[in-house]
Structures are given as C-alpha cells and as structure tokens.
C-alpha cells in the first residue's frame, strides 16, 4: 500500500478564493484561522519538524529578498520574470536566484509560472508596502536578538513573569543594559524603521478617531491657548497630524510629546507643536482637554505605568480626559497577532493587558476607567477613556 500513487484530493479552490476575496476582514481572518487549524491537524511528524525548524530560515530568506529587491522587481514586472531576468536585475547568480525562487514558491512569496519563471503573489505585493518593509526591518534588525535570548533569559530568571525593565531579554540579546529606545539609537536604521512602522501600521479608518465622540467631548471649548490634544509618547507626530486634519476648527493647541531624538524626526504639520518630554517626569502641559497615548503603556511593566499615569493625572483639570489606546485582551481566544505582541513585550518586561488589569492600573494612579470604545474588534484594539476619580463625565 505504501507504494501506491498518492491520491489527488481536489476541492473548488477557485470559488473559495473568490468568496474569500470579496469577504470582509473578519470573515477572511476566520477563514485563515480555520484553514491553518485544518492544515496543522493533517500534519505528520515530518511536517511539524520542518514547519518549526525552518522559521528562522523563512525570515532570513525574506531579508535576502529585500536586499536583492526581488519582491519589487516581481511586482513591477506585472507578469512573468525568468530566472535569467531576475539575475540580471538583481546582480545575483542565476543559479542562486533559481534556488531562492524555488523556495519562495513553497512559501507563496512568489509562484512558479513554468520552469524558472515566476510571478508575484498576494504576499509579494504585501511585502513591498512601506509598512511591511519598516516592520520587517524593525523585527529583523532589532527584535530578533530578543527572541533568540528569551529561552535563556527565562531559564536564568527561574520562569518568573518578567516585570523588571532593568533586566530584560532584549538587553541580554544585545548584551547591554541600555533601555530599548537607547538600543535603537545604536542600530543603523532602527529608529527610522520603528517610527515608520508605528506611523503606518494602522489604517487611518481603523483608529480611535472612528469611534471616539471628539465633538461631544470638546463641545463648548473656546480658548485657542488651552491645550486641546496632547499625544504623550506620540512618536513622530502622525496622530497629531491626523487629529488636526480631521478637526481643524476645534480651538486649542495640539502637542506631540516624545523623547528628544524622536521629536527631532517629527513630521511638520500645520497646527501641530512638537515638545521633547520624558513621560516619567512631571507633565509640563497642564489642564489639557485630551491627553492621549497609543501603544505606550504596553511597553512598560505595571510599576512604571503607574508613574506614567500619575504624572498625567497630576496635570489633568477636572474636565480633562486621558485616552489610552491599547489592546484589551479577552479572557480566551486572543488573536495570534495580539499573543505575539504580548510575548514580544515580555522581552522588555512589558505586556498586553485585560480590561481588569487596565482598570486596576488606572485606579492605582487615582484615575477611573469610565468607558471603552473598541475600534478594531478583530485585534481587540480599544480606546479607554479615563478621568480623575470622582470627576463627572461630561457625556
Ligand atoms: C510603541 S511607540 C508608540 C508611538 C505612537 N504613540 C504610536 O502609536 O504610533 C512608543 C513611543 O514612546 C516613546 N517613548 C519611550 N520612552 C519614552 C519616555 N520616557 N518619554 C517619552 N516618550 C517615550 C518612544 O520614543 C515611542 O515613540
């Protein structure tokens, strides 16, 4: 029986693809999860070995594709490229190109269109997007050393949940005691890749601005000198620019705060001020209507988030709101992406959090978590409105 020819199993791939292409994000994501689950359930030992054993190889080969510009060349060709043509365009040996491309065919990064002929796929197209390039650079150049160090780090610390930001897997991987944003300064392109990734990683339509009642909360404001929106740890100021573009007529100052090296790279947008500020120090902008943070507390362990919240709480007026835009983890069924981000944060002694954990952190700093507005249910992305404990909501 072993020698029997394998039975070809076929199903209607074309109609499934068509259905998937026109489905909404949630349906497509669910389909991917179901298909992967089914594929894994069919796997034998050999399959499991080679699926996990070559994960590092997969990432290395993507990096080589970027270095040789293969993905862009394939997409721009808008048709078939031969191995010889790719070799000529990239300056690599034809034989090397053939070896790389036959591997890409197996991971859908390109598809064979005949012997030594290739076309772009959906994945090739995704890979050439600016956000994908910046993210891949960030994870390859900076984070990969943290992943390598994580097993040794956890063994060394006795498998305690990491909460000490002065002793982390990222530090072990880089053999340094510098904090993450200092390490980035030492790695070529790391700051640029990181801030590009942060600025581009979310579709503008999938943002707090799509769900939060900005007009209601700011109704009645008339003072052009009162700070209206302060983005704390706002990176290069992309969210301030989006806010001002969407609400050009609400009176008040729009201020982007970050570390000096980041503010130096700040984008210039009309009506947006940049300010260097360390958010663990007293907040210099007092009485703003909206203090805002996205993806900031998740970079820090609980005792540091408490300080961060306390510094903002001390600057808030009774009618101020603090909006914390973060992942809010459900008790079960956390998405693959959120689980990966959580473990990546573990490498800097930080974490993703549940609603109960956010609520407790707010309370520990004299704040009250008043309401949650989820704008991306698929990835549990939510903006949490916090107010000074006892302050009345204006809504
Ligand atoms: C994960 S990024 C988020 C950036 C931006 N909020 C966004 O969502 O695109 C965290 C930001 O916090 C900044 N940061 C880190 N430590 C800081 C500190 N002590 N004071 C001020 N900003 C800091 C970093 O430079 C970075 O821009």
Condensed to tens digits (0 to 9), the pLDDT of residues 333-361 reads 898 999 999 999 999 999 999 999 999 99
Q: What is the sign, positive or negative, of the torsion defined by CA atoms of 187, 96, 109, 333?
A: negative
Query: Where along the chain do its domains lie?
Result: 13-127, 130-199, 202-388
The whole-number pLDDT of residue 4 equals: 53
Class of domain 13-127: mainly alpha
SS3 194: helix
Q: Looking at the domain that runs over 202-388, which CATH code has it been given?
A: 3.40.50.150
Residue pair 228/221 in contact by the 8 Å Cβ criterion? yes
- How many angstroms is it from 335 CA to the middle of ligand 1? 24
Rounded Cα distance between 296 and 319, Å, is: 23
Give the CB-side neighbour count of residue 281, counting CA atoms within 13 A: 8
Mean pLDDT, the chain, rounded, equals 94
Rounded Cα distance between 215 and 205, Å, is: 17
Mean pLDDT of the 44-50 span: 97
SS3 184: helix
Tokens of 295: 């993806």
For the CA of 261, the nearest atom of ligand 1: 25
For the CA of 195, the nearest atom of ligand 1: 27
For the CA of 231, the nearest atom of ligand 1: 6
Q: Do domains 13-127 and 202-388 have the same CATH topology?
A: no
**pLDDT reading at 379 higher than 90:** no
Q: How many CB atoms lie within 10 A of CB 127?
A: 22
The pair phi, psi for residue 257, each rounded to 5°, is -115, 140
Tokens of 34: 């179901």
Q: Which of 43-52, 199-208, 384-393 has the lowest mean pLDDT?
A: 199-208
Catalytic residues: 298
- How many angstroms is it from 319 CA to the middle of ligand 1? 25
The whole-number pLDDT of residue 5 equals: 60
**CB within 6 Å of ligand 1 — which residues?**
181, 198, 233-235, 258-259, 262, 278-280, 294-296, 299
**pLDDT reading at 41 higher than 70:** yes
- How many angstroms is it from 373 CA to the middle of ligand 1? 22
pLDDT in tens, 233-270: 999 999 999 999 999 999 999 999 999 999 999 999 99
The model carries a pTM of: 0.90
């Amino acid at each position: 029986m072993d020698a029997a020819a394998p039975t070809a199993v076929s199903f209607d791939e074309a109609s499934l693809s068509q259905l998937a292409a026109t489905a909404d994000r949630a349906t497509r994501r669910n389909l991917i999860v179901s298909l992967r689950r089914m594929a894994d359930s069919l796997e034998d030992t050999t399959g499991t070995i080679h699926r996990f054993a070559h994960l590092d190889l997969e990432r290395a080969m993507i990096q080589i594709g970027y270095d040789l510009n293969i993905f862009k060349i394939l997409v721009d060709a808008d048709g078939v490229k031969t191995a010889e043509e790719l070799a000529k365009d990239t300056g690599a040996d034809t034989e090397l190109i053939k070896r790389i491309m036959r591997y890409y065919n197996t991971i859908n990064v390109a598809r064979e269109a005949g012997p030594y002929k290739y076309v772009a796929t959906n994945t090739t197209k995704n890979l050439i997007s600016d956000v994908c390039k910046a993210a891949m650079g960030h994870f390859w150049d900076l984070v990969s050393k943290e992943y390598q160090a994580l097993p040794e780090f956890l063994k060394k610390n006795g498998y305690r949940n990491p909460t000490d930001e002065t002793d982390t897997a990222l530090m072990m991987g880089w053999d340094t005691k510098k904090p993450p944003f200092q390490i980035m300064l030492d790695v070529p392109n790391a700051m640029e890749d990181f801030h590009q990734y942060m600025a581009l990683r979310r579709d503008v339509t999938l943002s707090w601005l799509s769900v939060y009642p900005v007009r209601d909360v700011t109704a009645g404001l008339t003072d052009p000198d009162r700070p209206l929106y302060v983005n704390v740890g706002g990176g290069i100021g992309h969210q301030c620019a989006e806010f001002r573009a969407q609400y050009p007529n609400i009176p008040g100052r729009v201020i982007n705060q970050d570390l000096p090296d980041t503010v130096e790279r700040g984008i210039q947008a009309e009506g947006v001020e940049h300010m260097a500020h360390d958010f663990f120090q007293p907040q210099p902008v007092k009485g703003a209507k909206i203090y805002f943070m996205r993806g900031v507390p998740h970079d820090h362990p609980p005792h540091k988030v408490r300080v961060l919240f306390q510094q903002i709480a001390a600057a808030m007026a009774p009618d101020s709101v603090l909006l914390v835009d973060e992942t809010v983890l459900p008790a079960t069924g956390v998405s693959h992406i959120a689980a990966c981000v959580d473990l990546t944060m573990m490498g800097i002694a930080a974490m993703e959090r549940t609603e109960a954990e956010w609520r407790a952190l707010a309370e520990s700093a004299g704040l009250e978590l008043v309401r949650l507005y989820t704008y991306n249910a698929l990835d549990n992305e939510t903006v949490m409105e916090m107010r000074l404990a006892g302050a009345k909501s204006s809504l």
